[in-house]
Structure 1
Amino acid sequence: MSVALPFIAFLLAGAFAAYHRLRLAVWAAITATLLAACWLLGANQAATIVAAIVVAAIAVPLLLPFIRKPLVTTPLLKFFRKVLPPLSQTERIALETGSVGFEGELFTGDPDWNKLLAYPKPQLTDEEQAFLDGPVEELCRMVDEWQINHVHADLPPELWDFIKHNRFFGMIIPKEYGGLGFSALAHHKVIQKLASVSSVVSSTVGVPNSLGPGELLMHYGTKEQKDHYLPRLAAGQEVPCFGLTGPFAGSDATSIPDFGIVCKGDWNGANVLGVRLTFDKRYITLAPVATIIGLAFRMYDPDGLIGDTRDIGITLALLPRDTDGVEVGRRHFPLNSPFQNGPIRGKEVFIPLSQLIGGVDKAGLGWNMLNECLAVGRSITLPSTASGGVKFAAVVGGAYARIRKQFGLSIGRFEGVEEALARIGGKAYATSALSQATAAAVDRGDVPSVPSAIAKYHCTTMGREVASDFMDIVGGKGIILGPRNIGGRAWQASPIAITVEGANIMTRSLLIFGQGAILCHPWVMKEMKAAQNPDLKAGVDEFDENLFGHIGFAISNAVRSLWFGITGAKIGAAPGDDYTRRYFRKLDRYSANLALMADVSMLLLGGKLKFKESLSGRLGDVLSHVYMTSAMLKRYHDEGAPQADQPLLAWAFHDSVHKIENALSAALRNFPIRPVGWLMWALIFPWGRRAEAPGDRLGHRVAALLMAPNEARDRLAQGVFLTPCANNPGGRINSYLAKAIAAEPVERKFLKALKNSDIEALDFRSQLDEGVREGWITADERKQLEELRELTLDAITVDDFDPHELRAATYYDQPQHKRQPREAA
């Protein structure tokens, strides 16, 4: 033992210093003190001397800069410069335009949770709340999904007028230009509420307030452009669209073939310097009704009319719809969800340089501009749309499952339906927290590139999963389309959000971890900038500080991963209350695991990592769920840590940590360098995987919350349009819940008596008459059961139509011979 004691002291000192991230000098002092104690306690002197020599061999050269920099740092810098993967212009711009918020803490392996909890609780102003309670509520009351989707295949004229008159298109435009000047949170709340009643309405309102001419002009427009266009956009005098995607440039937007050549041409009767454009765009939302078109194209100046650069780069411009040569094509028909969407084309279209967004000074900076606006747009519109739909499914699905009965029981009492309800409830809590967190980040002034990708991918993915579960629960009420339908259109529209603003497959496998590992890592971006410094001496000084900070960081995360794995993350200080403290400890563990895996993957795979999309996607899942669970905990504490919400939080949290461990496991089992994968498994899962998916008892509690009035259900329902009006069958179903529950004891008593009787009445009303005569129920209870039958009938009734009502109107506009079925070829 006396021989081993100095080495045990050496290891313990190193582990302690690494866990607590102490400086190298502090580690050396602690280790020297322990070795001195070993000497005095009678440990083997030779072993103690060997341990001291090892400490000196490590500490002396690393603590003395005049030894460390020439012998260690400079050779490593030269090597790093050789292996540093080249960044394309696209990748460089994507990394340089984003900012880092709390997501950066998740890559440290030791997040400052107090920083998260100290963020102000997101709150609406009185003016914003009044808008939600007034114009937004009124617009929701006006929405008739059947009229929009089947009859008009568009918003009726009165809805267009209402949206424009109440400046829904100007929510983000400052008041000085006639807009509403709302916060990102208010923007989120408006889109969420509209989406709970109609995805067509929410997308129509959402697009002008996200990526489009309005936001681009606010950030980059010239004074003349702002003064002219922003008031017109805010008042709805101009309807905007933005053309980015084309047939040969979808997710790879930087490869757009659309081009503009700098030249002279005629504009408003004068010969001016401008750009002659040729373009072909598709999938452009609002294009068929747009009056002003934003356009992304690659700009060329072959004759040097505005400078020495020939290939200027991606540039953005504004084209009035009536510009000569602009062709707005016919409408696309996206999955029977008729929001205005279609192609735009143009050949040899001339515009003056004054129509470039930001003028000539912003020519070639289009991709930078788009990246910032894409991050903000992804943070709000798509996550908010998903959140509105998922929360609607949770509240209305729970009410329907309680009201609808089969085999004498509410269908929500069957465990299979309970499982689906639990998934819906947990995901509703998660999407609500995640979408609000990203909106709050925008309001704090962040450009949340990584959180926006996380929110876009996971909210829309969960939205599609919830749509599937909801359809399973409501059955025919969701399948049969018509004015009474409550799920069919959401089911049809759910894949749309998966594909737009960057396809979800690409977002998961490339963007989330690909950007996060560099942009959010505390050292990598600094090291890359140091390595690119042309001044070798300055680069060495900068690289030296960052390199050894990174090395200590990596060692610390290895130690922390092992410690948390051995202890099950059950030991250590953590914020929160008695209920959530254990959750924060778990997230400390997964943060350390993520940071360790990121470092090992980048070190050993280098530039090849961006081609390992499966590994990148799995590590992106880890980052996403750590971020998502932190958003849930923030929401829980912002709302006063209500005990009633704990089942929802617990289900969503355990679902996420189960997915985190599955993703880590898959990443390690498939790590390209197998021995490294085995070593990392020992550090991350010393006792194997332990996280389990939410259990049946927890699922039962979540389902029960959705099927009865309570404060947790009310909080989950906030921001959803549930007014029980004629055009809102979901709102009517929800309004019936309390009455249905109140009638259940009477219904059970009546059915039990009926079963044990010998009366011959077969229809419901005759049976009620017998029940009153026999004394099973009172006259008031009879009325209660009649009301229950009526509201149940409204809840479950579906529509039917004459055949001609389902035919397109154009069918009757064609000559008789064109309406005959074609013969088989």
Structure 2
Amino acid sequence: MWLVLLIIVAVIVIFAVRDIRMSIVTRPVFKWFKQALPPLSATERDAMEAGDIWWDGELFRGNPDWHQLHQYATSQLSAEEREFIDNQVVELCAMLDDETITAQQDMPESVWQYLKDEGFFALIIPKEHGGHDFSALANSTIVAKIASKSLSAAVTVMVPNSLGPAELLLHYGTLSQQQQWLPKLAKGEALPCFALTGPEAGSDAGAIPDTGVVCKGEFAGKEVLGLRLNWSKRYITLAPRATVLGLAFKMFDPDGLLGTTKNIGITCALIPTDHPGVRTGDRHKPMNMGFLNGTTEGKDVFIPLEWIIGGEVQAGNGWRMLVECLSAGRGISLPALSTATGHLSARTSGAYAALRQQFGVAIGEFEGIQEALARIGGLTYQLEATRVLTATAIDQKLSPSVITAIAKYHMTEMGRQVINDALDIHAGKGIQMGPNNYLAHCYMGTPVSITVEGANILTRNLMIFGQGAIRCHPYVIDEMVAAGLDDEEKGVREFDPLLCQHMLYSAGNGVMSFVHALTGSYFAKAPVGGATAKYYRYLGRFSRALAFCADIAMLRFGGDLKRREMLSARLGDVLSHLYLASAVLKRYQDEGHQHADLPFVQYSVERSLYLCAKAFDEFIYNLGSWPLSLAVRAVVLPLGNHFKMPKDEVAKQVAQHMTRSGVVRERLTHLCVVDDSNGTAVLDKALEAQQHAAQGYHEVHKLRKKGEIQGLTMMQLIEDAQAKNKLSAEQSEQLIAAESLRQEVIAVDVFAAQEFE
């Protein structure tokens, strides 16, 4: 006991007496911290510092304020936006034939003209420049609805509204650039593309070999100061048809014509594609989809300095500009495509499972199919919730870089899971190409979203936790600033209080994580009662555990953590699923606790909790030091990992809602465009007809079991029952109509042999 008392007194003296603390604790830690700081390239630093922290900061710091989440004003569509969606978007979707677009590898000219005339390329451009000035939610909703009919058309619409250069001009362009280009972009007189990716530089923009050298040259008959550009870019969407090219390049001033800086850095410029030396037109074939994607090159292309986006003052700021603008686009367009995949897959798979029969029963009655339907339904509910919450952040004039990285990675991966399950359920119906195959083009296009801004491997392993750990942490950035001061003594003085607060913060998170783990999260906060209260408490527990484990990881590995990608990615997964589950709970709250939606909430949140716990378990297992692993496990999972995937009963409830017409199915899949041109409308008609004829089907099955009617097919059974007057005229009529529609649903496209010659 005396030994324990002596230790306690020593600790109190060390930390309470500033001079002793500075000598024994602060200075050694400060020295270690400076050495452990990860070396950051200029592009990494720009990416790290870009964007805003929002709800992700609450989740990362261990004590999320759930009332604050509920108080965020969820974005709503304005009357003008709803009118555009109900009219222009509906009209556009009626014009789209994705089978023809894919076969011809382009949209018809009538569609191109309609997109220009109705301002589909001007969704984000202010009204004073001729645009619509729509919200992020409206932008996302428009893209999602189009994508449920034609992914090629959706990509064509989304690029000018998210990947530049309109957004770059709005944020950074000079007044003259905005006045020159924004009205043309709004009217469709100018079609833009943005060229960043090249053969030698994908995700690492710092490696782009494309150059712009400051020099004098002739422009408009005069000698002016400008740039001599050389570039080779690939994977550029809309480049084959674009009339104006946004270009990212490295800018150099070897002769000092602008000042003393020789290597100015990544810069963005806007160049008409008919300018001498610019080459566009060659195409790629991304998964053989029908949207335009290709290359652009330029050799010794001279442009004046005023073509730099933002003018000369923005020279060298291109990467920061791109990171900030791309993060907003990343949170709108790619989540919209994935959400559309969910809505389409959920609506069609639920109906098909109810209509397709094997062994005399609907395949939706088989538990294996129900398991896949539950994944589709639960993930679709979560996709929509995350889409709306992320758009809400952007509509608050934020650029939440960590959240949009989470949305990009996890929503595209959920979209991949959903479309895979949909293809499994449809089986042969899903793989036979033709006008009535509503899944195949979506399936082929899914990898396109995944590869934007680098494959998802990069997004998961480097961006989510790598940026989130520093940006969301309450002390690390300030500690890095203090450690970076040239005056070391001043740095130590500023570092000291931050270190004390950091240690108390980490210890507090560890203690509360341990308490919540032992008590089943009983003392964690929940803003509501009822069925979802426990989910808030579990998420609060995992938020504490994440904050604690993040500090342990940074302490254990220091600057080497950024190279421990598999380890840090698991903590990124925890942060991601905390956000995804939060989105689901907010949606459920915002929509008035729709009781019928509860199975979808349970499925998606319990899946996220399971994946959080799994990520913690694997993180602890791979810490590389068994004493440290034991200690962290004792804090985070002292009673073991008891989180499981949702129960089978929950999965069955989700599947049942999906295979029945009604408000739940409509609410789940409201973004899916349903029409007669691609086989989706007949699904709805057949499902409703089957439900209306349910009593008649019951009678037929009863008669067959008694041996009173015979037939090898349902239609033969109906006809035999009708001939023997076993059914009423109304029942016969309903059954024949329902069975005819069902046969139309399960049919696939067939082509004459001559079409393959």
Normalising by the residue count of structure 1, what TM-score does the alignment of the two structures yield? 0.89
1:142 corresponds in structure 2 to 95
User: CA 1:515 to 1:573, structure 2 compared with 1: closer, same or farther past 3 Å?
Assistant: closer
Q: Which of 795, 799, 809 pairs up with 2:749?
A: 799
Match status 1:748 vs 2:698: yes
Q: 59, 69, 77: which is aligned to 1:116? A: 69
1:780 aligns with one of 712, 721, 730: 730
Q: Cα 1:94–1:771, aligned 2, differ >3 Å: closer, same or farther?
A: same
Alignment RMSD:
1.8
8 Å contact 2:356–2:363 — kept in the other structure? Answer: yes
Which residue pairs with 1:650 in the alignment?
A: 602
Query: 1:226-285 CA distances to partner (integer Å, 9 max, x unpaired)?
Result: 001001101111110000000110111221001011111222222211111110000000
- Residues of 1 paired with 2:445 and 2:678: CA distance? 18
Change (3 A) 1:395 1:726: closer
Out of 518, 531, 550, the residue aligned to residue 579 of structure 1 is 531
Higher alpha-carbon deviation: 432-441 or 316-325: 432-441
Of 228, 233, 250 in structure 1, the residue corresponding to residue 185 of structure 2 is 233
In the TM superposition, residue 216 of structure 1 has moved relative to its aligned partner by: 0.6
Aligned ranges for residues 214-253 of structure 1 at < 5 Å? 214-253=166-205
Quick one: distance in 1 between partners of 2:507 and 2:708? 80
For 1:340 and 1:597, how far apart are their aligned partners in 2? 45
Shift of 1:537: 4.8
* Equivalent residue number for residue 812 of structure 1: none
Following superposition, the deviation at residue 347 of structure 1 comes to 0.7
What residue in structure 1 maps to residue 686 of structure 2? 736
Q: Structure 2 vs 1, CA of residues 726 and 712 (structure 1 numbering), >3 Å: closer, same or farther?
A: closer
Q: 2:46 aligns with which of 93, 101, 104?
A: 93
Question: Deviation at 1:539?
Answer: 2.7
SS at structure 1 position matched to 2:748: coil
Q: CA deviation at 1:70?
A: 5.2
Deviations 1:574-605 (A, max 9, x none): 21232221001100111111111110110110
Structure 2 match to 1:543 = 495
Task: Report whether the alignment pairs 1:640 with 2:584.
Answer: no
Q: Does 1:76 align with 2:76?
A: no
Pick closer, same or farther for the CA change 1:61–1:266 going to 2, 3 Å: same
Q: SS where residue 268 of structure 2 aligns?
A: strand
Query: What is the distance in 1 between the residues matched to 2:346 and 2:134?
Result: 28
How far off its partner does 1:766 sit?
6.6
1:158 alignment partner, SS class = helix
* Paired residues for 1:481-520 under 5 Å: 481-520=433-472
How is 1:579-618 mapped onto 2 (pairs within 5 angstroms)? 579-618=531-570
For 2:115, the aligned partner's letter is I
* Residue from 518, 526, 534 that aligns with 1:566: 518
Match of 1:265 in 2: 217
1:672 aligned partner: 624
For 1:320, the equivalent position in structure 2 comes to: 272
Q: Does the 8 Å CA contact 1:477/1:486 hold for their aligned counterparts?
A: no
Match for residue 335 of structure 1? 287
Please list, as runs of the form range in 1=range in 2, the aligned pairs for 1:303-702 lying within 5 A after superposition: 303-702=255-654
The letter for the 2-side match of 1:788 is A
Distance in 1 (CA, whole Å) between partners of 2:693 and 2:41 is 66
Matched residues in 1 for 2:713 and 2:488: separation?
A: 93
* Structure 1 residue 338 displacement after superposition: 1.9
CA drift of 1:63 comes to: 3.6
One-letter code aligned to 1:135: Q
* In 1: Cα distance, 2:403 partner to 2:713 partner: 58
Map of 2:58 onto structure 1: 105
Q: CA deviation at 1:329?
A: 4.0
Residue type matched to 2:42 in 1? Answer: Q
Inter-partner Cα distance in structure 1 for 2:636 and 2:715: 66
Contact 1:374 1:501 in 2 (8 A): no
Partners of 2:202 and 2:453 within 8 A in 1: no
CA offsets per residue over residues 98-134 of structure 1, 9 Å max, x none? 2100100112111111111110122111111111111
Deviations 1:689-743, CA, capped at 9 Å, x for gaps: 1001112111100100101123332221222212xx3214123312432221121
The residue that corresponds to 2:139 in the other structure is: 187
- Tell me, in whole angstroms, the C-alpha distance in 1 between the residues paired with 2:251 and 2:432: 50
Give the TM-score of the pair, scaled to structure 2: 0.97
What is the CA–CA distance in structure 1 between the aligned matches of 2:711 and 2:284, rounded to whole Å? 56
Give the 5 Å matches for 1:265-284: 265-284=217-236
Aligned-partner Cα distance in 2 for 1:230–1:502: 29
Report deviation, 1:88.
Answer: 1.7
The answer to whether the 8 A contact 2:620-2:633 is kept is yes
Distance in 2 between residues matched to 1:464 and 1:64, nearest whole Å? 57
Q: Could you report, residue by residue, the CA deviation over 1:359-395 in whole angstroms, capped at 9, with x for unpaired residues?
A: 1100011111011011111111111100011111112
Percent sequence identity over aligned pairs: 45
Contact 1:172 1:215 survives alignment (8 Å): yes
Q: Equivalent residue of 1:782, what SS?
A: helix
Counterpart AA for 1:580 = T
Larger Rg: 1
Deviates more, 1:316-325 or 1:737-746: 737-746
**Aligned letter for 1:218?**
L
Cα distance in 2 between the residues matched to 1:763 and 1:423: 32
Counterpart CA distance in 2 for 1:98 and 1:617 is 20
Q: Are 1:131 and 2:81 counterparts?
A: no
Check whether the contact 2:43–2:205 (CA below 8 A) recurs between aligned residues: no
Structure 2: how far apart are the matches of 1:658 and 1:760?
Answer: 50
Change (3 A) 1:555 1:756: same
Letter in 2 for 1:529: V
> Does the residue aligned with 1:338 lie in a helix, a strand or coil?
coil
Judge conservation of contact 1:396–1:731 (CA < 8 Å) in 2.
no
Structure 1 residues 698 and 246: CA distance shift in structure 2, 3 A:
same
> Does the 8 Å contact 2:703/2:709 carry over to 1?
no
Which amino acid is 1:73 matched to? T
Q: Deviations over 1:477-530 (max 9, x none)?
A: 211111111211111111111111221011111111111111111111111112
Mapped partners of 1:149, 1:177: distance in 2? 34
Pair 1:124–1:677, CA change in 2 (3 A): same
The answer to whether the 8 Å contact 2:332/2:391 transfers is yes
Measure how far apart 1:571 and its partner are.
3.3
Contact 1:644 1:711 in 2 (8 A): no
| CA apart distance, 1:57 | 3.4
SS in 1 for 2:283: coil
Q: SS of the counterpart of 1:738?
A: helix
Contact kept, 8 Å, 2:266 with 2:319, in 1: the verdict is yes
- Does the CA-based 8 Å contact 1:328-1:344 persist in structure 2? yes
Letter in 2 for 1:134: N
Contact 1:574–1:584 (Cα < 8 Å) also in 2: yes
Residues 757 and 94 (structure 1 numbering): CA distance in 2 closer, same or farther, change over 3 Å? same
User: Distance in 2 between the 1:606 and 1:412 partners?
Assistant: 52
CA contact (8 A) 2:693 2:735 kept: yes
Instruction: Tell me which residue corresponds to 1:165.
Output: 117
Query: Alpha carbons of 1:79 and 1:760: their partners in 2 closer, same or farther (altered >3 Å)?
Result: closer
State the match for 2:11 in structure 1.
Answer: 58
Structure 1, gaps ≥5 residues long: 4-46, 808-825
Name the CA distance, whole Å, in 1 between partners of 2:723 and 2:144.
Answer: 51
Separation of aligned partners in 1, 2:59 and 2:247:
37
